[in-house]
Amino acid sequence: MGFAEFYFNVDSGYLEGLVRGFKGGILKQADFLNLVQCQTLEDLKLLLQSTDYGSFLANETGPLTVSIIDDKLKQKLLVEFVYLRNHSLQPLTTFLDYITYSYMIDNVILLITGTLRQRPISELLPKCHPLGSFEQMEAVHIAQTPAELYNAILVDTPLASFFQDCISENDLDEVNIEILRNKLYKAYLESFYGFCKDQGGQTEEVMCPILQFEADRRAFIITLNSFGTELSREDRATLYPRCGRLHPDGLTLLSKAEDFEHVRAVAEYHAEYKLLFEGAEKNSNEKTLEDKFFEYEVKLNVMAFNNQFHFGVFHAYMKLKEQECRNIVWIAECIAQRHRTRIDNYIPIL
């Protein structure tokens, strides 16, 4: 597999070119500044028409709502992704599949939570991300226990391999679902990390930092969210993905953390995380920690485009596009609810 760069273009050159072209169409800061000035959703539609989104809302009848916009944004992303996926060759195909797994996990959890709250499946399905839909998805709500979920439904899906740690749980309640989600994510991230590491070359160089950050972000957020819940420290420690920079020392410290200050102390050891935690808790004017994490993620993803001949651009593009969709939806939501004070809280894509 040495010198993979030399052969990269044979299999994936076209797709890389395509994805770089797509990336050029991502909304810039100037576009967002214009979007923020919109008074109604119709204005938003008009402005988006002059971007790469073109006439993606042109065939909508009736009043525009945020959820229509959201659906259409996702639809467009889905079309692009499916095109990439259909034209890809191994190992890029596996790589692209890995990207969809995270959406699949989210969908499974969403459906289980929904069922737990007695929502009808027809109401839940539209909320699922189209990138993560799979054949057996709609049967998820039948399962009563994780074991059943695994044995009957998910065993045929690619998610099966992530389930190995999770079967022991006996009942699906709110806390257990959260634990299930985090365990799935942990297994997913570690597996994805391993896959990228096996690819070697540029892909490893670009993807590993992104996944490491993702793993560490999860570890931080799990820790912060677990304060004040019945989750024991030992249980918490089992949820941390073990492929980040924090592994192993940072994770040990995190598992002992009792409050925000302790978490911050852990972050102090890592220059990049230290910056994110600075000023995060002082007051609400500052950006929230979550936003800072998003900003850092965008930065990492944009940096992925600085290198050529690697798969990272596909992942980075999907993530950037996802962020862009979140931004547009945020702005649309602010416009629709006439709540303009926080409209500027989107994450600019550099």
Q: Give the interface with other proteins as residue ranges (CB under 8 A).
A: 34, 37-39, 42-43, 46-47, 49-50, 58-59, 61, 121, 135-136, 138-142, 148, 151-153, 155-156
d(CA 22, CA 92): 18
Q: Between 156 and 281, whose beta carbon lies closer to other proteins?
A: 156
CB of 213 to other proteins, least distance (A): 36
Which alpha helices (H) appear in the chain, and where do they start and end? 4-24, 29-36, 41-49, 66-86, 92-116, 121-124, 146-148, 174-199, 201-226, 233-239, 249-256, 260-268, 271-277, 289-304, 312-336
Instruction: Name the one residue in this structure whose structure tokens are 């590993």.
Output: 208
CA 205 to chain centre: 20
Distance between first and last Cα of the chain: 34
d(CA 20, CA 258): 44
Q: Between 37 and 308, whose beta carbon lies closer to other proteins?
A: 37
Q: Between 170 and 283, whose beta carbon lies closer to other proteins?
A: 170
CB of 172 to other proteins, least distance (A): 15
CB of 65 to other proteins, least distance (A): 17
Q: Between 138 and 272, whose beta carbon lies closer to other proteins?
A: 138
d(CA 73, CA 79): 10
Structure tokens at 139: 């049967």
CB of 107 to other proteins, least distance (A): 13
SS3 335: helix
Cα 84-199-349 angle, rounded to 5 deg: 55
CB of 168 to other proteins, least distance (A): 19
Q: Between 153 and 166, whose beta carbon lies closer to other proteins?
A: 153
Q: Between 9 and 39, whose beta carbon lies closer to other proteins?
A: 39
CB of 59 to other proteins, least distance (A): 6
Q: Between 31 and 214, whose beta carbon lies closer to other proteins?
A: 31
CB of 190 to other proteins, least distance (A): 27
* Entry field: residues in the chain: 350
* 130 cis-preceded (ω within 30 degrees of 0): no
